[in-house]
Amino acid sequence: MSNVNLDSIVDQLCSLTLMQSSELSKKLEEKLGISAASFLSAAPAAQSAPADDAVSKAAEQTDFNVVLSGFADNSKIAVIKEVRTITSLGLKEAKALVESCPKTIKEAVSKAEAEEIKEKLVAVGAKIDLE
C-alpha cells in the first residue's frame, strides 16, 4: 500500500465520530475474530510493578519544599542573611526560623527554583533537604 493510501485512511479514521468509531471497532472484531475485552483483561498483567509506580510518582513531582535541616556552627549569620534574602523575612523572623530548624523555608516551588535556593544556602554552610 502506498503512503498516499495510508494517509487517506488515517485522515478518514481521524474524521470519524464516536458512534462511527464504535461501529468500526465492532466490525473489525467480527472480521478479525478478536475481542477488545481480551485485550483489556490482559492489560493489568502488563502493568509495571508497584516499585516502578513509586519511581514514576517521584519523577512526576513538580512542587518542592525547601527545608533547612541544619547549618555549620560558624555559618549561622551567613545562613540567616541568605534566608532573609530568599524569604524577604525580617532579621528577627529569619533568625528564629534558622534557630528552630528543621524548618521549611519555601513551599511548593519548582524544581529549578528549589535547586537554586539549595545551592545558595549550601554555599553559606546550610544543610538543605528538598521534599
Q: Does residue 95 contact residue 68 with C-beta atoms inside 8 Å? A: no
100 φ, ψ (degrees, to nearest 5): -105, 25
Please report the pLDDT score of residue 3 as a whole number.
73
Please report the pLDDT score of residue 57 as a whole number.
58
- pLDDT reading at 77 higher than 90: yes
Triad 124, 125, 127: Cα angle to 5°: 125
Q: How confident is the model at residue 80 (pLDDT cuts 50, 70, 90)?
A: very high
Residue 80 burial (10 A CB sphere; 0-12, 13-18, 19+):
buried
Rounded to the nearest angstrom, the gap between the alpha carbon of residue 57 and the centroid of all alpha carbons in its chain is 7
Q: Write down the pTM of the prediction.
A: 0.53
Domains of the chain as residue ranges with CATH: 3-47 (no CATH), 60-130 (3.30.1390.10)
Q: For 22-64, write each residue's pLDDT tens digit.
A: 888 888 888 888 776 665 555 555 555 555 555 555 557 788 8
